[in-house]
Amino acid sequence: MLIDQLTELDPAVQNVLPPGTQLISIKNHGHSLWSFTFKVETIGPGCKPANYFLKYCLGFRGKLMVEGEFEGTKAIYAVSPDFCPRPIAAGKLSDPRFEDTYFYICEFVEMTGETPPFDSWTFCSKVVNLHKNGKSPTGMYGFHITTCNGWVPQLNNWEESWTTFFRKGFIHVFDMDRANCLHPRPDGMDDHLDVFLNVVIPRLLLPLETGGNNIQPSLVHGDLWFGNTATTAEGPIIFDGAVFYAHSEYELGNWRPSWNINAHFRDCEVHFPKSQPEEEFDDRNRLYSMRFNLHASILFPDKPQHRQRVAEDMAYLVNKYGKEKVNYP
């Protein structure tokens, strides 16, 4: 595609850089399934080299992606400026050849190629710091703009109750997955849904915020797996977030699969004890992991194993909690 061969900056991108910035080169950099990514080398004011990471995304879906990434990264950077690249801007290209193309640009950070498992303690302390100090400006769960997991838009409408927020968000991605399904759905998955939504979810999440227990909305990266982490000379960083304010344990739902970064569980627990009731942590983690598997199922509809995991976890939780009485409005 033409956009993959650009050798000059669009005026809309040039305008968000410091005045007097001179372009040296634009080179393809990294790999993304949903966007075109570049390293931009420039000479900035005072003849100082300045490098940037530039991402182009297409269409309305691309608009949601770059706007959400910019606002989400801004929120992370405000709390932990040493834990993510400095965001600069997001916007729409002005070149008429790219009528429906959007950009995100941030500071370029040199990565060593290693991922945070090589420094698990530091990585987990930074994650926990983000959760502890990233406080919701409204005191509620959600975010002020749509953010995306991959290209999947998340339902971020503000809610006072984590139970309500998570349940609505789960319905949102479940319905998207059903509409996007390319294979027969696993047996019982749709049949279990009513009990799962109206009994299992409130049974596992209401105890976090009732009966003397209390949780607070925490800023989460929202898609924290090894592909969205890296190590620099200064330490681990994170990027490509699906950011919103959530129960902090939600972050760990994406760490459950054996191929991911679940080895960090223990280090995170040292910094940030499990929520009460502690004995239900693993079942909450299973519940949160289901949403991440739904995201993966939507993004990769030709791989039915993600949906199969959701079906298996749903059957497990319905069997364990489905017959309990729950007073949920």
Position 121 scores a pLDDT of 79
The whole-angstrom separation of Cα 63 and Cα 121 is 36
CATH architecture of the domain formed by 120-322: Alpha-Beta Complex (3.90)
pLDDT at 262 over 70: no
What are the boundaries of each domain within the chain?
11-107, 120-322
Nearest alpha-carbon partner for 171 in 151, 160, 155: 155
The whole-angstrom separation of Cα 106 and Cα 49 is 15
Average pLDDT score over the chain: 90
Position 208, amino acid: L
Domain 11-107 sits in which CATH superfamily?
Answer: Phosphorylase Kinase; domain 1 (3.30.200.20)
pLDDT at 1 over 60: no
- The residue that leads in pLDDT, 176 or 121, is 176
Percent of all residues in the chain with a pLDDT value above 70, rounded to a whole number: 92
* CATH topology identical between 11-107 and 120-322: no
pLDDT at 224 over 60: yes
Q: pTM (2 decimals)? A: 0.94
Give residue-wise pLDDT tens across range 3-34. Answer: 666 778 999 999 999 999 999 999 988 888 88
Position 225 scores a pLDDT of 86
Position 194 scores a pLDDT of 94
